[in-house]
Structure 1
Amino acid sequence: MTIRTILRYPNPGLFKVCAPVTVFDGTLRTLADDLAETMRAAPGVGITAAHIGVDARIFVLELSKDDGLRIYVNPEILESSKATIIHNEGSVSMPGAVEEVERPTSIRVRYQDLDGAFHDEAADGFHAVCIQHEIDQLDGIFWLQRLSRLKRERLVTKWKKAQR
């Protein structure tokens, strides 16, 4: 396992749509291991291949040590609730920046595991928020794009000042 370099906002790689994974082999397993190690070192609760500059639709989540590591390959949201939740979000690519984002409270997601087998999973609350956040990233939507222009500009200005 290797801790990889995380792309920092506003790197163009964070706004790129990732390609579907088509080969399920040792290279994919190594990528998943590296993502987990990189996420833990950041620290964070989720990270995509896009965050480390890899063009592949894969992300890992570890909401808690008790919950364990979850790996999602080629994820897609099948259903979303009309009810929404507001939750503080941030990114390993923009450490220290946090803002409230509104998303559906519950979702149903379909994904593949590291062997290519398909799974359907229901998620709600924080778990659903995290999955949506990471799928956005795989779709080239950086979380700041979910904010109003005013909130986004204020947050970016504050974050840039803090980076100096």
Structure 2
Amino acid sequence: MKSRQIVLGILKSGPQTGYDITQLFQTSFAFFFDSSAGMVYPALRKLEKDGLVTKEIVPQQGKPDKHVYTITDAGSQEFEDYLKSPVEPESVKSDFLARLMFGEFVDPEHIVQIVKDEIAKETEEAEQLQQRLKNYLPTYNKTMSTGQKLAFAYGINSSKTEIAFLQQWLDEHPDGK
């Protein structure tokens, strides 16, 4: 999965500004796709150059012009091809797991702290996902698709599963040994 496919998918729901797309990346997609505002605009420029999106410049009084992007038929076809292609293997990059792999070089108490910090982070992430889910409908004024519901539930469940697993480890290894 690349940012271009996510941008095209967002635009399938209707025209959006670069700012709107960035907000969705930082909220709805943040739990499974690492992105930044600096990634969205280059992706939009490339998609426009490739004829997959169009840009309408909307003048605003007292503000910079608004750039509104719309997916083209070619963009819709590329997105459909992406959805029908085989799912790519998951790519996990975890600073948490890397630190655990090198845990032999620190005191066991430090490992316990790393685990506690991860539990706190995952708890916060699960709470954020639940809040985003509650805010989704009024914010976007539409019903969620089965896939959207499943994606949110998957993220929440993944966090809760990790928390339960790590808490069990802490209960069994309070001194980190």
Q: What range describes the TM-score normalised by the shorter chain of this pair?
A: under 0.3
Rg larger in 1 or in 2?
2
TM-score (norm 2): 0.22
TM-score (norm 1): 0.23
Bigger share in strand = 1
Bigger share in helix = 2
